[in-house]
A and B are shown apart, each in its own frame.
Chain A
Amino acid sequence: MAPLLTVNDVKLTIDGRPILKGVNLVVNEGEIHAVLGPNGAGKSTLASLIMGINDLKEPDSGEIIFQDKLVNGLDITERAKLGITLAWQEPARFEGITVEEYLKLSGRNNPELDVVECLELVGLDCSYLNRFVDDTLSGGERKRVELASVLAMRPKLAVLDEPDSGIDFASMEDIANMIKTMRDRGTTVLMITHREEIAEIADRATLMCDGKVVQTGNPKDVGQKFKTMCVKCEVRNPELVGGE
C-alpha cells in the first residue's frame, strides 16, 4: 500500500514546553491506523497539526505530507479540500442546525450522499434527521452524528480523535464496525486513542509516549507494549498523565 500521509521528524514546542519531539509516522492508503498512547503523549496535538486546527498550521520543524503534497501552512479548508477531515473528541454543538442539514453540509461534494444510511451506520435512525445538533443531543448521540458527518463527507483521510469517548461500552462494537465500514468505502482512518482494545481494530498501530513514537506495527504487539511500558511509566511519572 502507498503512503497517504507522511509525518517527517515533526517537532513542536508550545509555551516553552516540547510537545512533539521528532515524530515520524506513515499512514498507508486504505488502512485503519491507530495512534495509541497515554494522556499527554502528544497524540491530539499531532491530530491538530495534521488538520491545521487550534492555530497549529505548521510545526516548528519537520514536514506533513499528504499525497505527495506538503500541507504545512495550509489552512483548514485547503486541507479539507485535499481530502482530510477530523472528528473531534468533543464535537462542537450548533444552534439551529438540524442533523440533516449538518450531514448535507458535510457531504455536499459527495454525489452518492445518503444521509439516512450515514445515520444508520452509526446506529441512529431517520428520526434524528430533524433533531438539532445542539445541547439536546446527549454526548454519545452527538459523537455518533459527528462520525456520521465524516461518513457523509467520504474524505480520503479521516482523523478520529478518541472516537470511543462518550460511547457506552455496549455500543463499542457498533463504532468499531462503523470505522471498518469507513475504511471499506475508501477512507483511510487515523484513529487517536488511549485504549489498546480500541486500537486492536486497526490494521496497524503506532505507540506514542512523551512526544515521541515508540513503536509502529501490529496493533496487538503495540497494545502489549503500551500495557507493559506506558502503564508502568504513568505510575512512575504521574506528570505524564494529564490533559494534552
Chain B
Amino acid sequence: MATKNVLDTVAKKFIQIGLPKDLFERNRFNLLVDRNKIIVRYPAPGVRSEVIETPTGVKTKVYVEPGTKLEEPVTLCFGAAETTEVQTTEGEIVVGEGADVKFQVYGAMAEGIKLKHKNKLKVRVEKNARFEFLDLHYNGEDTFVELDTETDAYIGENAYFRSVFKQTRGRAGKVRIVLKAQVDKKGVAVFETKMIGKKDDEIYVEDVIHLNGEESRGISKSRIIAVDETKATFVGETYGNAPRCRGHIDCSEVIRGKDVTVKAVPVVVVNDETAKVTHEAAIGSIDKKQLETLMARGLTEDEAVDVIVQGMLR
C-alpha cells in the first residue's frame, strides 16, 4: 500500500481532471489503483475480493455474498497518474443470489498522459440479484488514451444488471467498448453508453444482448456526441431467443462539425414468434427547437449547446 505522499500526488492529478474531491477527502475508495500499483484498499461489508498486481496492471476477483444489500456504492478507481505504455486490468465479479449492490468505478487518466488501457471483465449476476455498474471515465483535455474494454455478463433468473459507461470530461481518445450479455428467465440487462468525442477521437461501441430466458428484457442505449473530426460507430445487437422476451435499442448521436463521421448499426434478430425487439436510431445536429428555446431564455448558442449536450450525457 502506498504512503500518504503518493496518495496525495495521485489525488491532486485526478482531482485536476474532474474527479470529485470528496472521494479523497472522505476516503471513499474501496480500491484505488495507479497504473499497476494498489494505492488504497478498503473492504466493503459483504464483499470478498482478491486483487493482485501484475507487471502491467491488476487482476481482481470480487464476490458479493448472497443477500448482501449495500446502501453506499462500492467505489473503485483504476487510473494512471503518469504515462505508461500499457495498463491491463482483468476482473471477475460474481454477485450472489438476492444481493443488491452498486459499483461506482472511476477511470482516471491524468492530464497530458498517453497510454493503452486494456480491460476484460466477466460479470455474473445470480438469481434475484441486482447489480449496477457505473463506469465513469475522466480524461484530461490533452490526454490520449487507447481504451479497449470488453465485458461479458451473465444475468440469472429474475436478476437485474445495469452497466453505464460514461465519459463526459476531456478527450475520449481511441475507444473500443464491447458489452455482451446472456440474459436468463425474467432477467433484465440495461446497457447505457454516454460519450463525447473531440478532435480526431475514434469511438466504437458494440452492445450485444442475447435474451435467452422467457420474459427476459434488454435495453441498449447510446448517446454519443461527436465534435470536430470524430469518427463514431455504434453497433447494437439484440437477439430475442425466448418466449415473450422484449428488447429495445435506442441510439441517438449528435454531430457538431463538418468533418465528423457517425454510424449507427442496429441489428435485431428474433427467433421466437412471441418475442419482440425494437430499435430507434437518430443521428443529426442539435435539435433546433431545443436550441431556440434556451436562446429565447437568454443563453448564447454555445451555452445552449453545452446545456443540451451535458443533459444527453447525464
Contact in complex: A92, B289 (CB < 8 Å): yes
Proximity string of chain A (45-87) to chain B, C-beta cutoff 8 Å, 1 when within and 0 when not: 0000001011000000000000000000001110111001110
**Contact indicator B297/A53 (Cβ below 8 Å):** no
Instruction: Confirm or deny: B314 has a beta carbon within 8 angstroms of a beta carbon on chain A.
Output: yes
Q: Are B299 and A77 in contact (CB under 8 A)?
A: yes
A192 to B294, CA, bound (A): 20
CB-CB < 8 A to A94: which residues of B? 290, 307-308, 311
Inter-chain CA distance A93–B289, complex, in Å, is: 9
Complex alpha-carbon distance, A106 and B294, angstroms: 8
Task: Judge whether A231 is part of the interface by a CB distance below 8 angstroms.
Answer: no
Let me know if A80 and B311 touch, CB within 8 A: no
The main secondary structure of chain B at its interface with chain A is helix
Cα A97 to Cα B304 with chains together (Å) = 12
The reply on B296 being an interface residue by CB < 8 A is yes
Given contacts A53-B292, A76-B292, A88-B289, contact A96 B297 (CB under 8 A): no
Interface string of A99-119 (1 = CB under 8 A from B): 000000110110000000000
Decide if A206 is an interface residue (CB 8 Å cutoff).
Answer: no
- Contact present for B289 and A95 (CB under 8 Å): no
Report the interface size class on chain B: 20 to 34
Q: For residue B271, which residues in chain A have a CB less than 8 angstroms away from its CB?
A: none
Q: How far is the CA of A81 from the CA of B311 in the complex (A)?
A: 24
- Total A-B contacts with CB atoms under 8 angstroms apart: 60
Please name the residue on chain B nearest to A85 by beta carbon: B296
Report the separation of the CA atoms of residues A89 and B300 in the bound assembly, to the nearest whole angstrom. Answer: 22
Task: Establish whether residues A91 and B311, one from each chain, have CB atoms under 8 Å apart when the complex forms.
Answer: no
Are A77 and B298 in contact, CB atoms less than 8 angstroms apart?
yes
Verify A96–B314 contact, CB threshold 8 A.
yes
A153 at the interface (CB under 8 A from B): yes
Evaluate contact between A149 and B297: CB separation under 8 angstroms. yes
Bound together, the chains give a CA A96 to CA B221 distance in angstroms of: 14
Q: Is B313 an interface residue (CB 8 A)?
A: yes
Q: How far is the CA of A86 from the CA of B296 in the complex (A)?
A: 6
Q: Are B307 and A97 in contact (CB under 8 A)?
A: yes
Are A153 and B298 also in contact (CB < 8 A) when A94-B308, A94-B311 are? yes
Best-buried of A54, A88, A95 by chain B (most CB within 10 Å): A95
Complexed CA–CA distance, A54 and B313 (Å)? 26
A80 to chain B, nearest CB (A): 4
Name 20 interchain pairs, CB-CB below 8 A, sorted by A. Answer: A51-B296, A53-B292, A77-B299, A77-B301, A80-B296, A80-B299, A81-B298, A84-B296, A85-B298, A88-B289, A88-B293, A92-B289, A92-B292, A96-B310, A96-B313, A97-B307, A105-B297, A149-B297, A153-B297, A153-B298
Q: Which residues of B contact A (CB under 8 A)?
A: 223, 287, 289-290, 292-301, 307-308, 310-314
Interface residues, chain A, with chain B CB atoms under 8 Å away: 51, 53-54, 75-77, 79-81, 84-86, 88, 91-97, 105-106, 108-109, 149, 153
